[in-house]
Amino acid sequence: MIFIKNGTINTITNGIIKGDILIEDKKIKAIGENLEIPQDAKVIDAEGNLVFPGFIDAHTHLGLWEDGMGFEGADGNEETDPITPHLNPIDGINPMDNTFKEAREGGITSVCTTPGSANVMGGECIAIKTYGKRIDKMIIKNPVASKIAFGENPKSCYGRDEKMPQTRMAIAALLREHLKKAEEYLEQIELYMEHEDHDKPEYDMKMECLLPVLRGEIPFKVHAHRADDIFTAIRIAKEFDIKLTLDHCTEGHLIADELAEEGYPVIVGPSLSERSKIELRNLTFDTPGILSNEGLQVSLMTDHPVIPVQYLPVCAGIAVKHGMKKEKALEAITINPAKTLGIDERVGSIEIGKDADIVIWDNDPFELQSNVLLTIIDGKIVYEK
């Protein structure tokens, strides 16, 4: 049991209070002013400090590209087949990687880890905590989405070897082809369930992993930088009546009015990087603020290891400098990614009953000089400065 007292608590969803938090059995048990301190509680005095929910990075490759390693630690892209929806990061993440420790030191308590973008269909995406020795015990939700990719990455990976896809047309065609196959597979399963005399379809792992997408249980997590690729993703989503999150969304500010009409959640970034390829020629930190001001649900991402995950608050601070409202920037690394990933019942804000993922800062987390003093994940102190 942990009792945090006298902190300035930003709950994210219910305003800011000066008061206390009681943590018991990995959960937030009570929030308020002048709460009674249980006799057996560990007391943490947060007087003069700021208390936030643990920050959430909505799009990383944490643990899939290991720190300071080359091929031996690169487990994010299976560049042998452009259609691999059945891959899952749980089998590739190394939670012993040093970057998990750095995430905790930076106040990042949850992330979405996703396969890379070499393939048109890259695999499933999972939400995990940043503390643990065994990945199975770090899972918040698996899967939270299914990764698909447009543009330069799949084109360059396969087109250079004279394989499909070489063009954007081929990327879209491959998506439609396999979504149609998955629809037919689902129809056969439903017929088998409804009629005893109907043959059960032969098991197909790729198709099985697309069923949650077709049923609307999880979205496609769309790697798309350019405006035309974003619109292609939306076009296909409407054809098959499926959900999307628009990740990267580098040219989102150029089509903000159109995206506002569509209303899909957007995950913007990595913005703190160079324009390393053609698709990034319109990269700007203005994007999250413009999209947020249009009423969209905006999350921020580091795309770790593109930007080290611990610098997520820095990215949010720069977004504020470029016109994003501060409260919206905070939401973009807390409750918005939690909602977008479908894990907001557990994380993303300081509320009674939610996971006790709490970070104490000595100052505004958007200021470079600020420090994390204490990080708590699932009610356990996992970092103390």
CA angle 343, 344, 345 (to 5 degrees): 95
| CA contacts within 13 A on the Cβ side of 61 | 21
Quote the pLDDT of residue 160: 85
Over residues 311-353, the pLDDT tens digits come to 999 999 999 999 999 999 999 999 999 999 999 999 999 999 9
Residue 276: partners with Cβ closer than 8 Å, 6 or more residues away: none
Residues (pLDDT < 70) of the chain are none
Q: List beta partners, residue 73.
A: none
Quote the pLDDT of residue 267: 98
Quote the pLDDT of residue 69: 85
**C-alpha Rg value of the chain to the nearest Å:** 21
* Sequence ranges of the domains in the chain: 1-53+348-384, 55-347
Quote the pLDDT of residue 159: 87
CATH of 55-347, one of 3.20.20.140, 3.90.78.10, 3.30.465.10, 3.40.718.10: 3.20.20.140
Quote the pLDDT of residue 195: 86
CATH H superfamily, domain 1-53+348-384: Urease, subunit C, domain 1 (2.30.40.10)
Quote the pLDDT of residue 317: 98
Q: List beta partners, residue 110.
A: 56, 129
pTM, full prediction: 0.97
Quote the pLDDT of residue 297: 98
